[in-house]
Structure 1
Amino acid sequence: MAPNNNTIGNRTEIAVEGAPPLAGTFLTPQTKVPGVLFIHGWGGSQEFDLTRARGIAALGCVCLTFDLRGHAATEAQRREVSREQNLHDVLAAYDQLAAHPYLDTTEIAVVGSSYGGYLATILTTLRRVRWLALHVPALYRDEEWDRPKVELDRDVLREYRQRDLGPADNRALAACADFPGDVLLVEAEHDTYIPHSTIMNYRSSFRRAHSMTHRIIDGADHALSDKTAQRAYTSVLVNWVTEMVTGARLSEPRPVP
């Protein structure tokens, strides 16, 4: 069987004392590796993602975690930052990851939690993403896009997230409808911020996805405050990324958006 497109094959001869040389083939991995961008939720930081990023980096991926504007060192800006500005942050982080010299730009995964999941879906319309993992993705009205996020009416948002919505109703859901890659959707059993209806709106919007994996973390709240829930989510995410990356390495290349 010939080596697949994800390996480099070099013919060699193996010297054996007192016998003719043996024909051999060195198979080495391709020099480029997949990349994974992590986008944390509102009020969080990259610390939320570091443990999972380390586990995925051990699989042979280049991972990038970062702090959105208005968080961690720039927390003083939180009352002023808008979704538009945070989307620019995400684009800048993606571009820095894509510029990494070891990265295969056709194999980029984006992992977004809550607000980060919402931004991740919109990112797929602006940059090439092969794999998309959404952990308790939030949903926001398209209106007031440039308004500081802290000024958005929470009661209006709470009612909005209970609605039956589709791609025609929301920019993020429209992005889901156009996404042809593989999707992981992770729901928390006891989420008081993101109701089951929002998760199902996301799920039903992925009409062109190559694959869809939906997992519910038993006993988990929105923030994964319980250690058991944290470990469960880490296991789900790392196993899914392992499956995606391994499958990509063993199969024939397919088109990437």
Structure 2
Amino acid sequence: MEQPRTRLLPGHDGLPLAVDARGEGAPTLLFAHGFGQTRQAWDGATRALAAMGCRCVSFDCRGHGESGRAAEGDYRIEQFAGDLLAVAQAQPEPPVLVGASMGGLLGLALAGETRPAPFRALVLVDITPRWEAAGVERILAFMQAHPDGFADYREAAEHIAAYLPQRRERKREEQLRPLLREGADGRLRWHWDPALLGSMARESERHQPRLLAAAARVEMPVLLLSGERSDVVSRETVAEFLKLVPHARHVEVPGATHMLAGDANDAFTGQIVAFLEDLPGGALRRPAFPQEVQ
């Protein structure tokens, strides 16, 4: 299986962003991860879609993974949106954006506020302009736990298993290596900048009016995928979104939580393929999914 090609791309203010690319075909799909994730969250989907002929690009948001960290912990939504725009504009054609949670909200803001639109189409993964606060608080509680890190990968895997009880298999060491950094004290800590847990996380709700207004201005094709068991997206927030974007398609993925792509990658990838096939001039062949997809 082809390994991704990794490079550093300057973001909004020159901050280096770690960017992966798989596949050589079209259309180009740009994947933007959620708060506290890395570009590796998309590995299963990018492998499958690249095998079908798509060009798949994913990147670490600033303060996450292998991308740069903001000086003095200064993180603002305008910087994150500027980074996403820079990666989109670096592609050979306007990409289809696939954005989960934070990545989806950044894409939604750009799709509604930027002209010409930087994307060909938009796939929102379990996120709407207004969300359920309890689900976000659960995510932040996970990120704030264990500030002193873990003694080894086994201990980190146990913490993830408790957070994601729906997953049958625990994370292996090779899967955890991109998510953890070893400190000078020998302990393993998460890949994100702890400064992200300040105002960027806690003040996210104040951006909801802006996001609702942006959604009402989106003209491109939109697919909203939500998890049946999500605690971040609800029937109420989905209904509100569909009123604002009446041309959007909504699919609820059975059994999936907010971590939709990881919970049900085959179903997730299949819905993206069906959406791409319906785009003007963007039909895809539908070969069998690779058995390796997780």
TM-score range, shorter chain: 0.5 to 0.7
**Where does residue 199 of structure 2 map in the other structure?**
151
Aligned length: 193
Aligned counterpart, 1:88: 82
The CA deviation at 1:74 is: 4.0
Find the aligned partners of 1:128 and 1:89 in 2 and give their Cα distance.
12
Which residue of structure 2 lines up, in the alignment, with residue 194 of structure 1?
A: 233
CA–CA separation in structure 2 for the residues paired with 1:205 and 1:220: 25
- How far apart in 1 are the matches of 2:52 and 2:251? 22
The aligned residue for residue 44 of structure 2 is 51
Q: What is the CA–CA distance in structure 2 between the aligned matches of 1:121 and 1:38, rounded to whole Å?
A: 13
Deviations 1:62-117 (A, max 9, x none): 321111001102486595422111111101111111xx3xx4x4xx3111111111
**CA–CA separation in structure 2 for the residues paired with 1:54 and 1:153:** 31
* AA at the equivalent of 1:68: C
Q: CA deviation at 1:226?
A: 6.2
Does the 8 Å contact 2:127/2:232 carry over to 1? no
2:63 maps to 1:70: yes
1:105-124 correspondence to structure 2 within 5 Å: 105=94, 108-124=95-111
Residue 250 of structure 2: aligned partner: 214
Is the 8 Å Cα contact of residues 132 and 182 (structure 1) preserved in structure 2? Answer: yes
Match of 1:248 among 264, 277, 281: 281
Whether contact under 8 Å (2:98, 2:104) holds in the other structure is yes
- Pick one of 29, 33, 36 that aligns with 1:40: 33
Residue pair 1:110, 1:129 contacting (<8 A) in 2 also: yes
Deviation at 1:138, TM superposition (A): 4.9
- Root-mean-square deviation (CA, aligned residues, Å) is 3.3
Distance change in 2, residues 1:154/1:139 (3 Å): farther
Aligned to 2:272: 237
Q: 1:49 deviation in Å?
A: 1.6
Contact 1:136 1:199 in 2 (8 A): no
Instruction: Tell me the CA shift for residue 133 of structure 1.
Output: 0.6
CA deviation profile, 1:110-132 (whole Å, cap 9, x unmatched): 11111111001112132332211
Taking structure 2 as the reference length, what is the TM-score of the superposition?
A: 0.56
Segments of structure 2 that go 5 or more residues without pairing to the other structure are 1-24, 132-194, 284-294
Distance 1:241 1:215 in 2: 14
Cα distance in 2, alignment partners of residues 182 and 93 from structure 1: 20
Cα distance change on mapping 1:96 and 1:122 into 2, 3 Å:
same
In structure 2, the partner of 1:137 is: 127
Pick closer, same or farther for the CA change 1:60–1:198 going to 2, 3 Å. same
Instruction: Report the 3-state secondary structure (helix = DSSP H, G, I; strand = E; otherwise coil) of the residue aligned with 1:70.
Output: coil
TM-score (norm: length of structure 1): 0.63
Q: What is the identity percentage for the equivalent residue pairs of Structure 1 and Structure 2?
A: 27
2:216 is matched with 177
CA distance in 2, matches of 1:173, 1:113: 17
Question: With CA pairs under 8 Å and 6+ residues apart, which has the higher RCO, 1 or 2?
Answer: 2
Q: Which runs of 5+ in 1 are unaligned?
A: 1-31, 142-146, 162-168, 251-257
**Structure 1 pair 196–221 and aligned structure 2 pair: CA distance change class (3 A):** same
